[in-house]
A and B are shown apart, each in its own frame.
Chain A
C-alpha cells in the first residue's frame, strides 16, 4: 500500500505531462469579440518602430473615422514577428479580427488560404478605389489573374541611407552607385567602433528581401515560369554570397549584426552613428525616433553591379508595402468596407504616410508638400522604375521563411569566422528548397 501511492501519482503526473506534449505550442489569436454590431476589430502592423508609436499615430485617424461613420474601431498593433502567425491562427479558427494589415509580399500565400475577402470590382467601387491606386502597389495584392485580397495602404521601396557627416569625414563626395564603390566606401568608413554598413542579419523578411534583390541583379530567380522553386542556381548563390560577404569577406558589417533579429537594431546602429550606411525601406520615421534628423543623412538608390551579369534584371528593390485586407469571416462586412474606404481616402493616406514616412498608394495624395522631398522622390522613382514584386506564388511566405533562415545561418557562419563559400551557400539553398517542397 505504501509503495503504490507514489507510483500512482507518478503515473498521473506522467500522463498529464505527456498529453500536454502533444497539444503544446501556438497560442491561438482571438480578439474578435463581435457583439455590438458596429465595433470593428483591426490588427495593424508595426510601422512606426514601436507599438506605442503606432497606437499614437493611428488613434486620431480611428477617432476621425468613428466621428464620420459612428463605427468604433478596436485597435491592436501586432509586431512583425507575430503577425503572420496571428493571421494564420485567425484563419484556421475563424475567430479573427475584421480587418488586418499584411505585408504585401504575403498576398499570394494568404490568398491561397481563402481567409480574405476578394476585392472584386464591386468592392473596389464601394471604396472609391477604381483607378486611384499606383499600378505597382496594386500588383502586389495577390496572384495575377485573380481578384486581389487587399488594397495597398502604405507603399515603400528600399534605398541606400548614408550618414553625410561620416561620408564627408572619409572624403567620400557621392553615394556609391555600384557595389564595387559601395564596398570600397564601406572599407573607408569601417574604423574604430564604426562600420561601413549595418544589416539586420537574423531577421527573416529582411534577409529574404535582400536575397531576392541581390539574386535578381545576378540574373537569378527563385521560381521558374511554372512556379517551381529553383533555389540553388549559380545566380542565386552569387547574389546571396555577395550580400553575406559584406560581413564575411569585405568585413564592412559588424559581426554582431548576426544577432539582430527584431527589425530595428540595424536602423538604430545607423541612427546612433555605429554604421555609416543602411539598406532599408522607408526608414525616416524610425530614424527620427532614434534621434537622427533628416538633414544628417541622404537617401540614394540601392547600387547595381558595375558590369551587369548576363540576364541581370534592373532591380534594386522589392515592391514593398502594406496592404489592408478584410477577413472573409467578418460579421461586419459593410462596416469593414467603409473602413477600407476611409483608410484609402486622400486625407488618411496623406496623414498616415506622412507619419510613417512611407509613400501613399493612391495617386491623388501626392499633392501634399511632404511628398515632394528628395527622399520621397528618390524612393518614388525606385518604386515606379526599378522595383520588382516578390514571387506571387502560394508558397511565397514559406519562401521568405526558408530563405531568410538560410541567409541567417550563413551570417552566423560569417560572424563565427567560418568561410562562406559558393558551396556553403548552395548547400543552404538546397536545404531550403527541400523544406519548401516538403511543405507543399
Chain B
C-alpha cells in the first residue's frame, strides 16, 4: 500500500509546477475572458465589470470587423499550419532516411541540419526578415540581380508573397525537429528486418513503405501532433517577420489575439479568443488521438 503511494509522491513536485506554470495562467485567462478588461482596469483586474458572454459574441460576430478578421486569420492559420507540417515532415523524414546508413561526414551533416532548430527563434526570424527585404535583401539580390527571374523586385514582407515568406521561415525552423525525432525513431527499428527484406529482394522504396514507415508510426503520431500545435500557435515567427501589424495575407491567429489584447488594450476580448483557440485545438487533438489510436488497434 505504501509503495503504491510513492509514484504519486514523486510526481507531486511536477504536478505542482505544472499547476503553477500552466494551469493557473490558463484559468486566469478563462476568468479574464468573462470580463470587460480594458485599459481602465489593468491596474486592478478584479474591478473590471463582468462581461458575460459579450467577449465571445463579439469574437464570433463574423459580420463585425473583428470577427471577420478573426475568421480570416483562422483560415490563414489553418492553411499555414497544414503546409508547414507537411513540408517539415517530408523534409525531416526524407533527410533522416537518407542518413540512416553510415557514411563519412554523417555526424557533421546531422549537426549541421540541426542548426536552425538550435538558433533562438528571434535570431532566426530576424535574419529571414533581413533576407526578405525588397531593396537590400539577399532573396531579391539572388532572384532579381543574379538570376534575372523578375523584372521588378517583388515584395516578400507585404502583400500576397508574405504568406510564402512566412511559410518558408517556419518550415526552415521546424523541419530539423522532425529530422531529429525521426532519426531517433529510426534507431529503434531492428536491423534484421531490413536484412530479411533485402533477402526477400525488396527494393529501397519497398523497404521504406513496408518497414520504415510502419515502424515509425507511433513516433509520427506524436511528431505530427506536436508540429501542428506548435505552428498553429506560433507567435515568434510572424511577429518578428512582420512586426505588430502583419499583412492581411499572413495574419496568423496568435498575432491577431496579441493585437486585440495589447494593441487595442482589450484583454477580455483577447482572452476570449485564446479560449476559443484552446477549445478548437483540444477538439482537434482529441479527434486526432481517437482516430490514430483506433487505427492502430484495428491494425494490431
Interface residues of A (CB under 8 A from B): 3, 6-7, 9-11, 13-14, 16-26, 81, 85, 88, 91-92, 94, 109, 112-115, 202, 204, 254-256, 258-259, 261, 394, 397-398, 401-402, 404-405, 408-409, 412, 415-416, 430-431, 434-436, 438-440
In residues 232-286 of chain B, which contact A (Cβ within 8 Å)? 232-233, 235, 243-245, 247-248, 254, 257-258, 261-266, 269, 274-275, 277-278, 281-282, 285
Which single member of B58, B135, B235, B265 contacts A397 (CB below 8 Å)?
B265
* CA gap between A204 and B243 in the complex, in Å: 10
Of the A-B pairs whose beta carbons lie under 8 Å apart in the complex, a sample of 5, sorted by A's number, is: A3-B296, A21-B274, A114-B43, A397-B265, A435-B66
A398-B263 contact in complex given A81-B243, A412-B158, A412-B159, C-beta closer than 8 Å: yes
- When distances are taken between beta carbons in the complex, the residues of chain B under 8 Å from A21 are 229, 232-233, 274, 277-278, 281
Which of the 9-residue segments B1-9, B20-28, B95-103 touches chain A? B20-28
Q: Known A-B contacts: A88-B39, A438-B65, A439-B269. Give 19 more (CB < 8 A).
A: A3-B300, A16-B18, A17-B226, A18-B229, A21-B229, A21-B277, A21-B281, A22-B274, A23-B29, A24-B254, A25-B257, A112-B39, A113-B42, A204-B245, A394-B39, A408-B245, A434-B64, A438-B266, A439-B265
B218 within 8 A of A: yes
A-B contacts, CB under 8 A, total: 163
* CA gap between A415 and B58 in the complex, in Å: 33
Say whether A259 contacts B257, CB under 8 Å: no
Q: How far is the CB of A207 from chain B (nearest CB, A)?
A: 10
A85-B262 contact in complex given A21-B233, A113-B42, A435-B65, C-beta closer than 8 Å: yes
Say whether A202 contacts B264, CB under 8 Å: no
Q: How large is the interface on B (under 10, 10 to 19, 20 to 34, 35 or more residues)?
A: 35 or more
Which single member of B218, B243, B266, B278 contacts A18 (CB below 8 Å)?
B278
Q: How far is the CB of B189 from chain A (nearest CB, A)?
A: 15
Q: How far is the CB of B255 from chain A (nearest CB, A)?
A: 9
* CA gap between A12 and B132 in the complex, in Å: 38
Residue of chain A at shortest CB distance from B270: A25
Q: Mark B125-136, 1 if CB is under 8 A from A, else 0.
A: 000000001110
- When distances are taken between beta carbons in the complex, the residues of chain A under 8 Å from B221 are 6, 10
Q: How far is the CB of A370 from chain B (nearest CB, A)?
A: 35
* CA gap between A17 and B278 in the complex, in Å: 10
- When distances are taken between beta carbons in the complex, the residues of chain A under 8 Å from B247 are 409, 412
Say whether B42 contacts A92, CB under 8 Å: yes
Say whether A415 contacts B158, CB under 8 Å: yes
A415-B40 contact in complex given A202-B243, A397-B265, A434-B66, C-beta closer than 8 Å: no
A259-B265 contact in complex given A94-B43, A434-B66, A435-B66, C-beta closer than 8 Å: no
Say whether A18 contacts B265, CB under 8 Å: no
Say whether B58 contacts A438, CB under 8 Å: yes
- When distances are taken between beta carbons in the complex, the residues of chain A under 8 Å from B58 are 438
Which single member of A20, A26, A115, A404 contacts B258 (CB below 8 Å)?
A26
Q: How far is the CB of B44 from chain A (nearest CB, A)?
A: 8
Query: Considering residues B226, B265, B266, which has the most beta carbons from chain A within 10 angstroms of its beta carbon?
Result: B265
B75 within 8 A of A: no
Q: Mark B179-220, 1 if CB is under 8 A from A, else 0.
A: 000000000000000000000000000000000000000110
* CA gap between A370 and B251 in the complex, in Å: 47
B76 within 8 A of A: no
B289 within 8 A of A: yes
